[in-house]
A and B are shown apart, each in its own frame.
Chain A
Amino acid sequence: MGNKIIQVNELKKNFHVGEITVHALKGIDLEIEEGEFVAIMGTSGSGKSTMLNILGCLDKPSDGIYKLDGISMGDMNKNELAGLRNEKLGFVFQSYNLLPRTTALENVEMPLYYNSRVKAKERRERALAALDAVGLADRMHHMPNQMSGGQQQRVAIARSLVNDPRVILADEATGNLDTRTSYEIMSLFQDLNDQGKTIIFVTHESDIARFMKRNVVFKDGRIVKEEWVKDRFNAKQMLTELPVDQDVI
């Protein structure tokens, strides 16, 4: 603990649309320590997606410094950024983004194909372990279309875990799920965070943000509010309080 895993100083991002320059990020300062569980919140157009792209090394800042795990990504080329994503980051998307007609196990294995240090046997073992960690070891040969949304998202989480990343970036990961399933996914994230994983979770739902430890609110390209969550929700407890109905996974 106390190890600064993400350091962002005076980060700016400009887009040129025709002759107009759009200032999507107007000087962001943010530090995230290992083991944190941070919600990045904001309405659409607030700059939170741009922030996530930069944090995820998918895009480069126009100005300012971004250090991931002590490595400054400012002067890296495309391939080096790809390597960084492969080793340090795990992505979870709103629409799961699983490969169709591909088993859960193979979906989870996929990121490891891009790491030539991982051999076939180790790849399989790590994918199995990741699936086990999200409680889907018994579904490893199922195709995405044979699974519920919650299960698909858990496969996607297993995929983000398989490379043992320093940070998991979740982009509206519960956006497509019903309340019960959302809570189950949040419960999984809370477990992972309890095990020490650093998680950055982009959401616009304030009740989802209350499952996290810290909330950072973006507005018009700036951080307007940064607060530690009081009365943090416990997903497991909330699941037991939900009225039991038929939408059981």
Chain B
Amino acid sequence: MNYTNTLKIALNALRRNKFRAFLTMLGIIIGVASVIAMLAIGQGSKKSIQDEMSSMGTNMIFIMPGADMRGGVRQSASDMQTLKLSDVEAIKEQCSAVSAVSPQVSSSSQAVVGNNNWPTSVYGVDNDYLEIRKYSIETGRNFSDREVKTYAKVCLVGQTVIENLFPNGENPIGQSIRVGTIPLKIIGVLAEKGENGMGQDQDDMIIAPYTTVQKRMLAITYIQSIFASAASEDVNDQAIEQISETLRRTHKLKADDADDFSVRSQAEMVQMFSSVSDMMTMLLGAIAGISLLVGGIGIMNIMYVSVTERTKEIGLRLSVGGRGNDIMMQFLVESILLSVSGGIIGILLGLGSSTAVSALMNWPTVIVPMSVVFAFLVCTVIGVFFGWYPARKAASLNPIDALRYE
């Protein structure tokens, strides 16, 4: 008996029960489609988080004042005044793996131009900040060292602020913007950056020299955080280590003192978010995988019932000269056909629904080619594995008993 005949017999048998064949496949279809769609959604969200994170600058390291105790009272990190300008200078001079460093002080203020006002954040930074945070200037210029030193009343403005304060599309360059009580001259407009991974609008900001914000707006001498940039991604860890050592030295911490600052890198953040979304992907995949398994058991169930139901047919096939092997192959091929064609439909459905999800709901999806290959292989294995036992049962029937079976 050749394979074409086996295939034809199996196809004819399935054709006789189209609806049941479809129902049997449905479990596999749903299982495969959900595996592919879930992995696509999981991978999509992971990738979009990674993209957004790296758009914030992959080499970025930021330093915050850490928990401190004063007379036994723990202080919140934002109240800490442990970071000083001297720390920035020390990092700049002593850390070879750090390519740029900028202090940051910030204040939330109402910005006003003419009749329009808008609540926004003002970040006081050094002029390296744009490079560290991967901002670029659309029009105008960055502020100079001299402007930093002279507490110049200049600023760079993000797109969101521009839209709200200059609704008629005037050229903002050279215009004056009042932030709190301080009028600042707009010398540059930042290029649009969009939302970051946490949904924060990165264009809703005003950037000014840190000296200006420190002295003119906040009247403080300490700085709230430090942003630095590692020379390259490879020396990220080295840069973090150097910064920690430098800060421990400048803060005169003893060997057994805890850090009074914390150093975080963007790479860490990316890793953290990736691992969260990896976990989510795994969870989704596992749930989908279970439905695939249930689909496989469904095939076994139906094939098993089918063997019993078709006992007489098996007896007939044996009596006209079908060998046990032929019968076994017929049922095995039927089960493989069911699972593989279910798998193919499931793959198409999974790809389709992934595309639909990203088109209709604006969810990012990334189709993982491995998941398609994997789903297909799993289907074939399911077909063989769950078809094997019923097929063996069919092949072992005694023709006389099978013919007499009612």
Chain A positions within 8 Å of B, measured between CB atoms, are 53, 56, 58-59, 78-79, 82-87, 91, 93, 97, 99-102, 106, 110-111, 113-116, 159, 163
Contact = CB atoms under 8 A, between A and B. Distances in A.
Contacts of B5: 113-114, 116
23 contacts: A53-B400, A58-B318, A58-B319, A58-B403, A59-B400, A82-B321, A83-B323, A84-B321, A85-B321, A91-B320, A93-B403, A99-B313, A99-B316, A102-B12, A110-B320, A113-B1, A113-B9, A114-B317, A114-B320, A114-B326, A116-B1, A159-B320, A163-B320
Contacts of A56: 319
Nearest to B312: A97
B209 interface: no
A78 B320 contact: no
B319 A85 contact: yes
Given A82-B322, A86-B321, A114-B326, A58 B313 contact: no
A106 B5 CA distance: 13
B115 interface: no
A102 B326 contact: no
Contact of B322 (A87, A91, A114): A114
B317 A58 contact: no
A92 to B, nearest CB: 11
A180 B276 CA distance: 80
In this complex, which of B319, B322, B326 has the most chain A Cβ atoms within 10 angstroms of its Cβ? B319
A111 B321 CA distance: 7
A97 B321 contact: no
A110 B403 CA distance: 16
B316 A78 contact: no
A101 B16 contact: yes
Nearest to B315: A97
A69 to B, nearest CB: 15
B179 to A, nearest CB: 82
A14 to B, nearest CB: 15
Given A58-B400, A99-B16, A113-B9, A87 B319 contact: no
A116 B323 CA distance: 12
B325 interface: yes
A55 to B, nearest CB: 12
B16 A91 contact: no
A85 to B, nearest CB: 5
Given A79-B325, A106-B12, A113-B8, A86 B399 contact: no
Nearest to A118: B5
Nearest to A156: B316
Given A97-B403, A102-B16, A82 B323 contact: yes
Contacts of B383: none
Contacts of A84: 321
B65 interface: no
Interface string B1-29: 11001001100100011000000000000
B320 A111 contact: yes
Contacts of B316: 93, 97, 99, 110
Contacts of B320: 85-86, 91, 110-111, 114, 159, 163
Nearest to A143: B16
Contacts of B364: none
Nearest to B15: A101
B172 interface: no
Contacts of B9: 113
B310 to A, nearest CB: 9
A241 to B, nearest CB: 35
A158 to B, nearest CB: 13
A16 B69 CA distance: 93
Interface string B301-335: 00000000000110111111111111000000000
A58 B320 CA distance: 10
B12 A114 contact: no
A95 to B, nearest CB: 8
